[in-house]
Amino acid sequence: MSAITNAAATVLAQADVAEQTADEAKSISAASGAGMAYGLAAIGPGIGIGYLVGQAVQAMARQPESAGQVQTTMFLGIAFTEALALIGFVVFILLKFV
């Protein structure tokens, strides 16, 4: 993170026009913030969906006759878990493309 902000500082130092400097700093900090937002938001749901699907597969392997019901519940769970990652993605878009 400090490397990125350092880079931003370098850009700040090198740029001639004040307006251009502000734009560059803005876009760089926005890009780094966006990247971090999405990267952090992807961790939890990644673990969660992996665990959820693993358990669902186990349940289906134990009781193949109830596979349909388990599948529906699994999709519901994925939808709820995935929402967190998607909100991270939306924040990414919000930050990146102001």
Q: Which residues are at the interface with another protein (CB under 8 A)? A: 1, 4-5, 8-9, 22, 25-26, 28-30, 32-33, 68-69, 72, 75-76, 79-80, 82-83, 86-87, 89-90, 93-98
Nearest CB to another protein, comparing residues 57 and 79? 79
Non-local (6+) Cβ contacts of 37 within 8 A are 88, 91, 92, 95
Nearest CB to another protein, comparing residues 7 and 47? 7
Nearest CB to another protein, comparing residues 30 and 60? 30
